[in-house]
Structure 1
Amino acid sequence: MRRIACRQAVVFALLIGSAGTIHAQENTMRENPIFGQIFPQGEKLPEEFSAYFIGQAYRAPLVRDEALNCPVSNVTFSPGCRNNWHSHTGGQLLLVTAGRGYYQERGEPARLLLPGDVVEIAPDVEHWHGAAPDSWFAHLAVETNPQTNKNRWLEPVDDAQYAAATAGTEEFRSRMSRTALRNFDALLPACKSELEQSDPELAEIVGNFAFDEVLRYGELDERTRRMTLLASAIALQAEGVYRSLLDAALDGGVTPVEVKEILYQAVPYVGLARTFDFIGIANDVLRRRGVTLPLEGQSTVSPDDRFEKGLAVQRSIFGERIDRMHEEAPENQVHIQRYLSADCFGDYYTRGGLDVKTRELLTFSMLVSLGGCESQVKGHIQGNANVGNGKATLLAVVTQLLPYIGYPRTLNAIACLNEVIPE
């Protein structure tokens, strides 16, 4: 997963570097709205290049300053379009930005390409690349060693060769529902790319179950579902999954403040040591998106009133039970009850950015994902019910977490749910 994340970072660095060119070519994008993507689609290939393509392709030069000596173009392929076998005397880099495509070197199996993938093509290696049969595809083509780099065009990739090269992956994809394909691509593109190439049968099983069948259960709104998945990934210590889910969450309307508050909410439940690396991941992703850090502060308490305000929040969630916990605590454990009121609830639950109802749902998601916290899970099931997250909502959350946390933790959570809120 770290390898994929590094690839995505390379792509994004180039995207940021070309931002000025993107704005300069907005008219081109508007004139060619065929395939939505971050870069302009450009014009149809001129005849000198289109003669070496089967199907329709488009090109948009992105780097205009010849003094930089780094030609970069966005190349877009319509479904089924591919170029001839060819080689470059100076090599080439392909940075995949949109859609689904393939790359194949002579004598090697074809490689499925998805956004975030990087293809390093050595000088004089014969190869071809293009779109999948049923998908548009776009990549940045970076000319390496441009002073001496020349193309050597060879024979076309005929229909039989193309069908054979794409058959394995396309066959299993045909057994995945369109909903599964769309959601898998949106939520975990890096994992999907890896599984499609190494374990296509597992990709099919996971895709249809986790990204179609499970998503049909319950009535969680999309933003809430994505926030609970982020909270779960932190508790599971799933860094690669968290990174992909975070990009999807931000694209789906979760705000940077909400992203940060999910992390802050994780500190008292998952622990600082387990949350720290995820704070770093979130910072990287937010900075890549142009977000200035630190964000505006959300704290609403002071050292003088954090205990009282935290205790008030506890009482609003759990009722008189909190007073009994303070009264009945052994003398040598009173400090823990004060920590819970002042720190866990005073420092975190009183913060802005997320309301108490959402924080309780996130806490439930994290405790269920941690496992071995059934006593706390039961307490927060009651707390959720008290603030308006009923059994149907909690069951919907557990169901959405199932593919990520597995059946044992899911069944333990449901047992707690049925004990606290019987059918």
Structure 2
Amino acid sequence: MKIINYFTAILLTVLFNQLIVAQQKIKSNSMTSFTEKGIAAAAAYFKGTVWVNMNVKPEEGYNINMGTVTFEPKSRTNWHTHKSGQILFVIEGIGYYQEKGKPIQLIQKGDVIKIPKNVEHWHGASHNSLMRHIALIPEFDKDKTEWLEVVSDVEYDGFKVPVYEVENNLTPAAIMNHEELWPNYVSKVKETDPELIEVFDNFAFDEVINHDAMETKTRVLLIMASTIGSQALIEYKMFVNAALNVGISPTAIKEVLYQAVPYVGISKVIDFINATNEIFIERNISLPLESQSTTTAETRMEKGLAKQKEIIGNRVEDMYKNAPKDLLHIQQYLSANCFGDYITRNGLDVKTREMVTLSFLIAMGGTESQIKGHIQGNANVGNDRQTIINLMTQLIPYVGYPRTLNAITCLNEVLPLKK
């Protein structure tokens, strides 16, 4: 879909406004309303129950063809093309639009779909809601509509909107992003707290996700990590399933879990390990997974210290130098155990591991000193200020504002915005 030019946009705006006026001030049979269904659409070109009401015809002196098309649930056009392109104004309900070779898009009231010339596409209602749009073909004297094959049920069912999401006024982006993680999942909370579902899902799965271009797999992995830090076992299990649904490997999931041990503690992680194993078994994922360890008892200290310096920098030497003799063993544990046993493992790259660690710390709360250290650690391995802001933004719905704002304060101290 591409943006129309300036003059065409002005023409469309004027015509659209005229249609609204016509709807409100119907005075004679010569004036039509785009809320009227009209006549049944030609069965050869549509599947299901579809109504067409022509609002503006070329013979009336306009070089356009404009009509209101009402699709009952599950009805749609055939695949087709327009030599002059087409513009759709969605005025009611929820529907689907798809161009050949691309995913189905969700459309709803207020959306404007600008269909390029000669692009094979189809559009229609969603499974559970009617959809009404105004269809406009510009340059009608040059246009030729070519009708193609029927949109099969398999193609149409490639994306299905659950009934509750239609009823709860979720945005198309919120529905699609939620469905990407949990296809056809129906929340039990929607039955008891529909208003909360509407507010939370529209925020978390539309507004927040659309803040930046963080890759879905990365976002899901970091949110999953934060649920361990928050000790949110139910939400963790949701995100393990989401991770598997979007193609995150079982190894990567387990590596997040293992990395949580030195930061959160085994007593808090063990329940998450058991829950993960149960999900893996349900999904026929064989256990144990292949080992990702890269150190031995003899090399863990040396390799751990090297990894620690890669992430933390030369400050590690000061930490050793300034440690009281009776606490030197803690520094050695950090190098050999935290970094040597865990951070040196395969399965996750170092940039992802540092973001995972930061997600743990932000979710735990009360870890500002460590957050500052790992903000710098993120920067040292190539995660810049904007990447860290994106991470913190994506965590807001799951860890809340106080812990996020505390983390932002740390960020501004360690990596202030350059003026």
TM-score bracket for the superposition, by shorter chain length:
0.5 to 0.7
Q: Of 262, 277, 296, which aligns to 1:302?
A: 296
Match of 1:237 in 2: 231
Counterpart Cα distance in 2 of 1:235 and 1:322: 25
Stretches of 4+ moved more than 4 A in 1?
78-81, 168-172, 188-192
Partner of 2:275: 281
Q: Which residue is 1:202 aligned to?
A: 196
1:319 is matched with which residue: 290, 313, 337?
A: 313
Matching residue's letter, 2:281? R
What residue identity is the alignment partner of 1:348?
Y
- Alpha carbons of 1:276 and 1:191: their partners in 2 closer, same or farther (altered >3 Å)? farther
Classify 1:192/1:370 alpha carbon distance in 2 versus 1 (closer, same or farther; 3 Å). Answer: farther
Indicate conservation of the 8 Å contact 2:263/2:360, yes or no: yes
* Structure 2 counterparts to residues 12-27 of structure 1, below 5 A: none
CA contact (8 A) 1:188 1:241 kept: no
Cα-to-partner distance string for 1:140-190 (whole Å, 9 max, x where unaligned): xxxxxxxxxxxxxxxxxxxxxxxxxxxx957742x2101112223444689
Determine if the alignment matches structure 1 residue 134 to structure 2 residue 134. Answer: no
How many matched pairs?
Answer: 266
Offset, 1:318 = 1.5
Q: Which amino acid aligns with 1:413?
A: A
Q: In structure 1, what is the Cα distance between the partners aligned to 2:167 and 2:414?
A: 43
Other-structure match for 2:247: 253
- 1:133 deviates by 2.6
Counterpart selection for 2:210 from 211, 216, 219: 216
Contact 2:307 2:339 in 1 (8 A): yes
1:341 and 2:335 correspond? yes
Given the alignment, which residue of 358, 368, 375 partners 1:374? 368
SS at match of 1:366: helix
Cα 1:213–1:80 shift into 2, 3 Å: same
Alpha-carbon distance in structure 2 between the residues aligned to 1:170 and 1:379: 42
Assess if the C-alpha contact under 8 Å between 1:378 and 1:420 holds in 2.
yes
Q: Residue by residue, what CA displacement relative to the aligned partner does 1:23-81 show, whole Å, maximum 9, x if unpaired? A: xxxxxxxxxxxxxxxxxxxxxxxxxxxxxxxx99xxxxxxxxxxxxxxxxxxxxx9589
**Which runs of structure 2 are paired with 1:18-417 in the superposition (5 Å)?**
133-134=128-129, 172-173=167-168, 175-187=169-181, 193-417=187-411
AA aligned opposite 1:201: E
Structure (1 or 2) with the larger CA radius of gyration: 2
Which amino acid in the other structure matches residue 267 of structure 2?
A
TM-score relative to the length of structure 2: 0.60
Gapped regions of structure 1 (runs ≥ 5): 1-54, 57-77, 82-130, 136-167
Tell me the amino acid that sits aligned with residue 347 of structure 1.
D
- Is the 2:128–2:166 contact (alpha carbons within 8 Å) kept by the matching residues of 1? no
Amino acid at match of 2:196: L
Preserved contact between residue 231 and residue 366 of structure 1 (Cα < 8 Å): yes
Higher mean alpha-carbon deviation, 394-403 vs 279-288, is at 279-288
Distance 1:177 1:270, change over 3 A: same
AA in 1 matched with 2:224:
L
Alpha carbon RMSD of aligned pairs, Å?
2.4
Are the aligned partners of 2:181 and 2:245 in contact in 1 as well (CA < 8 Å)?
no
> Structure 1 pair 407/305, CA: closer, same or farther in 2 (3 Å)?
same
Contact 1:172 1:204 in 2 (8 A): no
Paired amino acid for 2:225 = A
**Structure 1 CA distance, aligned partners of 2:165 and 2:374?**
45
* Structure 2 residue aligned with 1:125: none
Q: Distance in 1 between matches of 2:413 and 2:128?
A: 51
Partner of 2:13: none
**Aligned to 2:213, what secondary structure does the other structure show?**
coil
- State the SS of the aligned residue for 2:294: coil
Deviations 1:299-341 (A, max 9, x none): 1111111111100001111221101101110011101000000
Q: CA deviation at 1:219?
A: 2.4
Matched AA of 2:204: A
Could you say if the C-alpha distance between residues 80 and 218 of structure 1 is closer, same or farther in structure 2, counting changes exceeding 3 Å?
closer
Gaps of 5+ in 2: 1-47, 50-71, 76-125, 131-162
- 1:198/1:321 CA distance change after superposition, 3 Å: same
Q: Which amino acid aligns with 1:323?
A: E
**1: distance between equivalents of 2:236 and 2:218?**
15
**What secondary structure sits across from 1:261 in the alignment?**
helix
Query: For 2:322 and 2:399, how far apart are their aligned partners in 1?
Result: 35
SS at match of 2:214: coil
- Structure 2 Cα separation of the partners of residues 133 and 190 of structure 1: 13
Query: How many Å separate the matches in 1 of 2:232 and 2:74?
Result: 36
Residue 62 of structure 1 corresponds to which residue in structure 2? none
Tell me which residue corresponds to 1:152. none
Q: Which has the higher helix share?
A: 1
